[in-house]
Homo-oligomer: A and B are copies of this chain.
Amino acid sequence: MAKKKLNVGMIGYGFMGRAHSNAFRKVSNFFDNEYVPVMKAACARDADKVKAFADTWGYESTETDWRKLIERKDIDAVDICVPNNLHKEISIAAAEAGKMILCEKPLAMNAAEGEEMCKAVEKAGVLNTVWYNYRRVPAVSLAKQLIDEGRLGKIFHYRAVFLQDWTISEDLPQGGAGLWRLDSAAAGSGVTGDLLAHCIDTALWLNGSMSNVTAMTETFIKERTHTATGKKQPVRIDDACAFLAHFKNGSLATFESTRYARGHKALYTFEINGEHASIQWDLHDLHRLNYFDHRDDSIVRGWRSVHVTDGDMPYMGHWWVPGLQIGYEHSFVHQVADFLGNVAKGESTSPTFRDALETQYVCDAVLDSAKSGKWEEVGK
């Protein structure tokens, strides 16, 4: 197959910049697409740091102004890996410049921003996707397949948590390189946009739309030193958030996220209970899917721990042999592989900006409910 090049410009070089760069760099070793990504340029404000980043990852050039990057004719697609408060401006500019866009999640600071962004990409007709990477962990993709095959039957319950424990210390500051997630000016919200957004994206994908929610949030540590000012400032993000929800298919749901659950590093788990079968998944053992099927013979009925490493399971035919697991980083490779395949078809890749906007509506309803103390309808 004759290969076509897709020139990528990366904005940002933090944790997600690395995860995406790794995906662009290795996708064509394992997936055979018509389009192959070319790591054309990396962009960030600090010239030295972005140069070092580009050298490490093999980007051909660097920029220090994202507007310059977007103007470049040799860039086909822009990858946005900067804090949430910059997603809107860059996305709209990139759309107007006719670039394809891969935007880190959450799409925006709130639904209002997200609506503007959707209009921009749709008006410009540019291909787009949002990096809710967990959809493409093979076990999660397999869950989607099992549901679509009707194996679960009518769904009664959905429950998800995303538990971490890294901000329990009062000495941790807010703001700065690794800590912008604690600064509401950069992050918008706390665990709701950072962690629950993942849970919500997966849930909407697997179980359809939500009707309404009731929520509570908490900020356990009220003040933290801000790295920009060196002073104690109020913490305005949510340290923890839990909510109840009704899905439009009649199922009930509970969601919870916190950074104060001692013992959990990044424990994203979900469980879905259907009439005939149930599914469980857990990010700490992301290569397994637990499956229970009530139609099994009663004396040998039990939760099955499926080791999702066989060639007939989603994405796995591209990797190693049964029993040999892949990890976190591969979910990004899969999203790039799908993106490249969809570019050839002229299609955006799910979750698109429009898909991710629905998550934003849920997040807004959750944060509104936490303030109002009432059930809130999921917008639009």
A contacts, CB < 8 Å to B: 15, 19, 21-22, 25-26, 28-29, 56-58, 142, 145-146, 151, 156-157, 159, 161, 163-166, 168, 214-216, 218, 220, 240, 242-244, 246, 250, 252, 254, 256, 258, 260-267, 273-278, 283-294, 296, 298-307, 309-310, 312-313, 319-330, 373-375
Contacts and interface: CB of A to CB of B under 8 A. Distances in A.
B244 A243 contact: yes
Contacts of A301: 304, 306
8 contacts: A21-B29, A26-B26, A145-B299, A159-B256, A218-B252, A263-B303, A325-B327, A326-B328
B326 A265 contact: no
Contacts of A306: 299-302
Contacts of A146: 299-300
Contact of A312 (B156, B274, B298): B298
| Pairs A-B, 3 closest by C-beta atoms | A266-B323, A265-B323, A263-B292
A276 B246 CA distance: 35
A292 B306 CA distance: 10
Nearest to A169: B275
A323 B262 contact: no
B291 A278 contact: no
Contacts of A296: 304
Nearest to A15: B321
B310 A298 contact: yes
Contacts of A165: 273, 294
Contacts of A57: 29
A214 B29 contact: no
Contacts of A273: 163, 165, 258, 260-263
Contact of A304 (B21, B288, B304, B323): B304
B302 A274 contact: no
A324 B320 contact: no
Contacts of A267: 323
B322 A328 contact: no
Contact of A283 (B260, B285, B294, B323): B323
A305 to B, nearest CB: 5
Chain B CB within 10 Å, residue with most, of A166, A289, A291, A375: A291
Contact of A265 (B161, B263, B309): B309
A157 B258 contact: yes
Interface centre among A156, A215, A262 (most CB of B within 10 A): A262
A274 B246 CA distance: 30
A34 to B, nearest CB: 15
A304 B303 contact: yes
A372 B299 CA distance: 44
Nearest to A325: B327
Contacts of A243: 244
B313 A324 contact: no
Contacts of A327: 287, 324-327, 330
Contact of A157 (B25, B240, B284, B289): B240
B302 A293 contact: no
B240 A216 contact: no
Contacts of A373: 214, 374-375
Given A242-B254, A302-B305, A326 B323 contact: no
Contacts of A329: 319-320, 326
B28 A261 contact: no
A22 B29 contact: yes
Nearest to A313: B299
A191 to B, nearest CB: 12
A90 B261 CA distance: 44
Nearest to A276: B262
